[in-house]
Structure 1
Amino acid sequence: MIRLLIVDDEEIITEGLFEVLKQLNLGLDLYKAYSGEEALELMNRTRVDIVLSDIRMPGMDGLELMTNIRSHWPHCKIVFLTGYNDFDYIYQAIQTPGVRYLLKSEGYDKIIKAVTGAITELENSLKFHNLVNQSREKLTTLETLAQGNYFRYLLQGERAAEQLERDFRHLGIALDPTLPVLVAIGNLQRTNGMHQSYAESQEYALAVKFLAESFLTERTQSLGVIDRYGDLVWLIQPQPGHGMDAGDAYPRAVTFLEGQFELIQQASKDSLGLTFAITLCAEPCEWNQLSAVYDRIRSQQHMRAGDGALMVQTVNMETIETAALSRSLREKAEALAVHLEGGRKEGFLVVLEELAALTFDDHRNRSPFLLELYYTIALLLLSYINRWELHDKVGTKGLMQRDMHASWTESFDYLKQIAESLFELRSCGEKNRAAAAIGKIRSFIEAHIGEDLSLVRLAGVIHFNPSYLSRLFKQECGVNLSDYIDEVRMEKAKELLKQDELKIAEVGARLGYETHHSFTRFFKKLTGLTPLEYRESLRK
């Protein structure tokens, strides 16, 4: 939500602008200040996006306020108002980017136009494509990271060719999702043997990726990504032509890659001080086999002879089923953790059912995998029970004792029951905390009805950000926070007006209104009567 602050030492102008902008329903979070010092105090506590300010005020004037705004919130838009046609002030104001200048005599239409223009500028500046245009020099690295994330997504399961085609086009991947792909993994090492930080390993991997592109583009289409272990993974397809038959393309490509990777290794050693071993699948795989082949290559990579520096080895696609099952179990277990962390019950239960189906779908002996899977999920659930301190509410007697359950089906049903209990307790806890927070806000409003009840101050009471408090209050109470404050003020006003010994001005002062006419305007807007008329109606 965009926050707009009105600053003017003349209360009637401040109140008038506040009412006009409030009635326009521009989706603004509105605030008022009656001096530059008061405005600055607010901006020390929260972000302000637009300031509508008098340029000449006692104490801190508008130009001094502008200097402070720039140091706090440099993207804040400023609209200056003045009744003085003072050239020096105008000249200084218009020299600053993001600042508009209006005479008060120009009327509300011009002011509204200036405010809506500032809103448009703010909204445009937040659009993603503008941010990307400002960071164009980093696009290649960002694209590489995005493609790496997508590669990890591909390893989680099968994808339809149509979906792959759309994704490839969107991410700038120059591979054909209808053709098989060769897979290679490179494990990078520094020649001096020094330990690398995460940032350094990412930087080196990117450098090798960019270097390799110049060697691979002559005969192949390739995608180089960085996997979760910091290793480089290449997905490669031969380019059509070059005098090769379709059946000969992939074997020739493997030979080409073996030679090119040797050159890449040497170039990396000479120019970057890096050595790395390459493990290349000797046969192309379909996209739905990618995760199994990737695991097969990784397992073979760790069985290399010697230190592997400058080694290029090839592996075949035999015996990949065990690797495929192991990866599927591991990836889905990680998905369970993500759903549990995010409180997504339905997603968690769907993945759990998929795991059960995966392990019970044939008659072969899979007890080792089932045992690994059971304890993986049990440890995950136990971790969250410990973190949320739910030992007294969730029974865990049989959680880490698989042999207490009569069958595998009973074991996984038990895990499902534990998970459902966790989600239910979490949901109840969130609802209770929300109700407690809103109850605290309502009590605070009633106890401080004559004080500043801005969204920023109320948010500070429960240490939430203002926008979230506004949304949470509406969600819990069914009314806007500002409307609720008006209701409480009105009830308090009616209660005080019953006391004849209090003057109308005194009643308004107790409710936070500094002037008689401000209170009168508020009361009549909500009741249709002035405070005096209401008091007289009580007497009758």
Structure 2
Amino acid sequence: MYRILIVDDERIIVDGLSEMLKEKLDAEIEVYKAYSAPEALEWLDRIRIDIVLTDIRMPEMTGLELQQAIVARWPRCKVVFLTGYHDPVYIQASVRNGAIDYVLKTEGDPAIRSAIEKAIKLAEEEVANSETVVKAKAYIAEAIPVLRNEYFLALLEGQESREKSRSAKFRELAVALDPGLPVYCLAGRIDEWNNAESPSDKALYMYAVNNILEEFLAGAVKAHHIVYERNRSIWLMQPPAEDRLAKAEVPDWSNWIRYIRGSVEQIQTACKQVLKLPCSFIAAEAPTGWESLATRFRALDSMFLQGIGLGTELFLTDGFLPDGGTPGAGSETERSQAKRVQLLEKYLDEADRDAYFEMFRQITKLDPDRAASSIALELYYSIVAMIFSYLNRWSMMAEVTDKIPLQRLVSLDSHSSWDDARRFLEHVSEHLFERKMNVRNKQIYDIVKRLHDYIESHLSGDLSLARLAELVYLAPSYLSRFYKQTTGKGISEHIADTRLHKAKELLLQPHLKIHEIGLQVGFPSAPYFTRFFRKMTSLSPQEFRDLNG
């Protein structure tokens, strides 16, 4: 998915180019429109843009000045200039500043389309060419030094850390982060392994993902990568020491965080294309102090373990909090010492139903002489403790009391046999999995309904993927995949269907003029509305009205 921003102070040119690119380009694209340089800057401050097609002579700001603003915000953005003037001075200046092409308006649609296709190809090559670097770094850097990793794992688990002792530890372990500056947290997960079976293969993949992130954010951040689960890790980030943000007495993090979030979508794409690994990310809304790091970490990680977080290739922010809450300090009960019961808890958290019940049946299959022994007693209450831990951490205790007889759960003697007790625990586990999936399904339903309601009531307004993503706290690229996976069709297709349905409804009202109907369903000019309607129905709006009048 590539985002293209068209900038020109002539509305008819912007609208025409937008329609042409949507129809003629084979690549999957989102097209955004700006009718002035200031409006273009608003888009650039709002989302990552991959390609800008801009007029070079505009009233408020020249295209060259806009190009400098683009590079400052999104260094990898490709700029194509479009102008009615063949001016060698402008051409030379644009090329020096990094423009990839310069197209005269008189050259027509084919030349413009060719320039955009060239920009897309360059963007694809940048991702592909990073493969050699990624592989080299992955094999050289076998692991993060053990002591450094253990120290940061302890911080994530809530170990107290004062700035003075933290500074000494950072110097000792050669940590690049500033112990006195807040950190920005980005949690990541490899959703599926690419035929990686051994722990060493998986470790290499984890570090390859880290290397991709470092490459895309080079110069913009200093980061520390911590692997805390077999498929999950977290990055702690700060601006470089020489950056004005790091030096500011009261720093404004918004632009820096926006850049990181926009780059994460490219990192996700690179992981999929280069490593063949689908990855998910959850970004913090704001930086956090070291004293609050453990709380922030638990909140981010918990989002991977319930509701929509159980999906794949997601990109969320912690502004989107799943129903069911997040674990707080001291919310967990004491865990069982049995390693396999710990695995049960892990599989339950991750909604890995098959692995959970396979392990459950293995550990609860006891010989007849052991079924009445203290081993059965220990095993039963270990599983019960795990279940209570789960209920407490996800604030489910109150809602399950009507469905799970807790008195029977806490007493092995209430069961007639070990097999009866085992079946009861299995039934309780089934209920927990069912509830977990119900929460996810409800969240999915709520997101889709909110999108549909908004689209239906804003047909003449901003229905860009960026706006819809902001509405439901999802990243635009993830929203596009999420919607298609959930509904079976693209979100742009749903918008078109909704516009068509509303247009047909309004065309049955003879007092409304056709151009007024076009405006109401999101088409600024009658020709665009007529072309859309004919494409969808093989009829013009007037022909439809005549047939149904």
- TM-score scaled by length of structure 1: 0.60
Q: Which moved more, 1:422-431 or 1:410-419?
A: 410-419
Do the aligned partners of residues 477 and 364 (structure 1) sit closer, same or farther apart at CA in structure 2, a change above 3 Å counting?
closer
Q: Give the aligned partner of residue 32 of structure 2.
A: 31
The alignment status of 1:55 with 2:56, answered yes or no, reads yes
Q: CA deviation digits over 1:177-200, x for unaligned, max 9?
A: xxxxxxxxxxxxxxxxx8998867
The SS at the match of 2:142 is helix
Separation in structure 2 between the aligned mates of residue 335 and residue 477 of structure 1, nearest angstrom: 34
The SS at the match of 2:117 is helix
Q: Give the aligned partner of residue 143 of structure 2.
A: 144
Separation in structure 2 between the aligned mates of residue 397 and residue 126 of structure 1, nearest angstrom: 58
Do the aligned partners of residues 350 and 97 (structure 1) sit closer, same or farther apart at CA in structure 2, a change above 3 Å counting?
farther
The alignment status of 1:417 with 2:423, answered yes or no, reads no
The alignment status of 1:429 with 2:442, answered yes or no, reads no
Separation in structure 1 between the aligned mates of residue 530 and residue 408 of structure 2, nearest angstrom: 68
The alignment status of 1:22 with 2:22, answered yes or no, reads yes
Separation in structure 2 between the aligned mates of residue 81 and residue 46 of structure 1, nearest angstrom: 22
The alignment status of 1:352 with 2:360, answered yes or no, reads yes
Do the aligned partners of residues 116 and 538 (structure 1) sit closer, same or farther apart at CA in structure 2, a change above 3 Å counting?
same
Do the aligned partners of residues 526 and 36 (structure 1) sit closer, same or farther apart at CA in structure 2, a change above 3 Å counting?
same
Alignment of 1:396-415 (within 5 A): 396-415=406-425
Q: Give the aligned partner of residue 345 of structure 2.
A: 337
Q: CA deviation digits over 1:169-228, x for unaligned, max 9?
A: xxxxxxxxxxxxxxxxxxxxxxxxx89988678769xxxxxxxxxxxxxxxxxxxx9xxx
Separation in structure 2 between the aligned mates of residue 340 and residue 127 of structure 1, nearest angstrom: 38
Counterpart residue identity of residue 84, structure 2? G
Q: Give the aligned partner of residue 40 of structure 1.
A: 41
Q: CA deviation digits over 1:229-282, x for unaligned, max 9?
A: xxxxxxxxxxxxxxxxxxxxxxxxxxxxxxxxxxxxxxxxxxxxxxxxxxxxxx
1:364 deviation in Å? 7.4
Q: Give the aligned partner of residue 386 of structure 1.
A: 392
1:94 deviation in Å? 0.8
Q: Give the aligned partner of residue 485 of structure 1.
A: 495
Q: Which moved more, 1:78-87 or 1:497-506?
A: 497-506
Q: Give the aligned partner of residue 496 of structure 1.
A: 506
Alignment of 1:76-87 (within 5 A): 76-87=77-88
Counterpart residue identity of residue 528, structure 2? S
Q: Give the aligned partner of residue 536 of structure 1.
A: 546
Separation in structure 2 between the aligned mates of residue 199 and residue 415 of structure 1, nearest angstrom: 47
The 8 Å contact of residues 7 and 34 in structure 1, kept in 2 or not, is answered as: yes
Do the aligned partners of residues 454 and 64 (structure 1) sit closer, same or farther apart at CA in structure 2, a change above 3 Å counting?
same
1:28 deviation in Å? 1.6
Which of 1 and 2 has higher RCO (CA within 8 Å, sep 6+)?
2
Separation in structure 2 between the aligned mates of residue 447 and residue 129 of structure 1, nearest angstrom: 44
Separation in structure 1 between the aligned mates of residue 132 and residue 342 of structure 2, nearest angstrom: 32
Q: Give the aligned partner of residue 455 of structure 1.
A: 465
1:423 deviation in Å? 0.7
Q: What is the root-mean-square deviation in Å for CA atoms of aligned residues?
A: 3.5
1:384 deviation in Å? 2.3
Separation in structure 1 between the aligned mates of residue 428 and residue 373 of structure 2, nearest angstrom: 22
The 8 Å contact of residues 63 and 93 in structure 1, kept in 2 or not, is answered as: yes
The SS at the match of 1:79 is strand
Alignment of 1:23-422 (within 5 A): 23=23, 24-97=25-98, 99-126=100-127, 130=131, 132-133=133-134, 136=137, 140=140, 142-145=141-144, 330-357=338-365, 360=366, 370-391=376-397, 392-393=399-400, 394-395=403-404, 396-422=406-432
1:474 deviation in Å? 2.7
Q: Across the two proteins, how many residue pairs are aligned to each other?
A: 368
Q: CA deviation digits over 1:127-156, x for unaligned, max 9?
A: 5954845984x864x3124999xxxxxxxx
Q: Give the aligned partner of residue 208 of structure 2.
A: none
Do the aligned partners of residues 28 and 364 (structure 1) sit closer, same or farther apart at CA in structure 2, a change above 3 Å counting?
same
Separation in structure 2 between the aligned mates of residue 29 and residue 385 of structure 1, nearest angstrom: 43
Q: Give the aligned partner of residue 476 of structure 2.
A: 466
Separation in structure 2 between the aligned mates of residue 335 and residue 380 of structure 1, nearest angstrom: 10
Q: Give the aligned partner of residue 153 of structure 1.
A: none
Q: Give the aligned partner of residue 526 of structure 1.
A: 536
- What percentage of residue pairs aligned between the two structures are identical? 38
The 8 Å contact of residues 371 and 418 in structure 2, kept in 1 or not, is answered as: no
The 8 Å contact of residues 52 and 78 in structure 2, kept in 1 or not, is answered as: yes
The SS at the match of 1:52 is strand
The 8 Å contact of residues 50 and 76 in structure 1, kept in 2 or not, is answered as: yes
Separation in structure 1 between the aligned mates of residue 77 and residue 142 of structure 2, nearest angstrom: 31
Q: Give the aligned partner of residue 11 of structure 2.
A: 11
The 8 Å contact of residues 5 and 30 in structure 1, kept in 2 or not, is answered as: yes
Separation in structure 2 between the aligned mates of residue 349 and residue 488 of structure 1, nearest angstrom: 44
The SS at the match of 1:144 is coil
1:345 deviation in Å? 0.9
The 8 Å contact of residues 470 and 481 in structure 1, kept in 2 or not, is answered as: yes
Do the aligned partners of residues 32 and 533 (structure 1) sit closer, same or farther apart at CA in structure 2, a change above 3 Å counting?
same
The 8 Å contact of residues 81 and 103 in structure 2, kept in 1 or not, is answered as: yes
Q: CA deviation digits over 1:6-36, x for unaligned, max 9?
A: 2233333333332333233311222222222
Do the aligned partners of residues 57 and 489 (structure 1) sit closer, same or farther apart at CA in structure 2, a change above 3 Å counting?
same
Bigger Rg, structure 1 or 2: 1
Counterpart residue identity of residue 506, structure 1? E
The SS at the match of 1:5 is strand
Counterpart residue identity of residue 46, structure 1? I
Separation in structure 2 between the aligned mates of residue 495 and residue 25 of structure 1, nearest angstrom: 32
Do the aligned partners of residues 398 and 135 (structure 1) sit closer, same or farther apart at CA in structure 2, a change above 3 Å counting?
farther
Unpaired stretches in structure 1, ≥5 consecutive residues: 149-193, 205-224, 226-327
The 8 Å contact of residues 80 and 103 in structure 2, kept in 1 or not, is answered as: yes
The alignment status of 1:442 with 2:441, answered yes or no, reads no
The SS at the match of 1:53 is strand
Do the aligned partners of residues 487 and 108 (structure 1) sit closer, same or farther apart at CA in structure 2, a change above 3 Å counting?
same
Do the aligned partners of residues 196 and 485 (structure 1) sit closer, same or farther apart at CA in structure 2, a change above 3 Å counting?
closer
Q: Which moved more, 1:110-119 or 1:481-490?
A: 110-119
- TM-score scaled by length of structure 2: 0.59
1:496 deviation in Å? 2.4
The SS at the match of 1:21 is helix
Separation in structure 1 between the aligned mates of residue 143 and residue 486 of structure 2, nearest angstrom: 43
Separation in structure 1 between the aligned mates of residue 368 and residue 428 of structure 2, nearest angstrom: 26
Q: Give the aligned partner of residue 265 of structure 1.
A: none
The 8 Å contact of residues 435 and 476 in structure 1, kept in 2 or not, is answered as: no
Separation in structure 1 between the aligned mates of residue 78 and residue 395 of structure 2, nearest angstrom: 47
Do the aligned partners of residues 338 and 402 (structure 1) sit closer, same or farther apart at CA in structure 2, a change above 3 Å counting?
same
Unpaired stretches in structure 2, ≥5 consecutive residues: 148-164, 176-199, 201-335
Q: Which moved more, 1:118-127 or 1:60-69?
A: 118-127
Do the aligned partners of residues 146 and 410 (structure 1) sit closer, same or farther apart at CA in structure 2, a change above 3 Å counting?
farther
Counterpart residue identity of residue 349, structure 2? E
The 8 Å contact of residues 4 and 50 in structure 1, kept in 2 or not, is answered as: yes
The SS at the match of 1:4 is strand
1:417 deviation in Å? 1.8
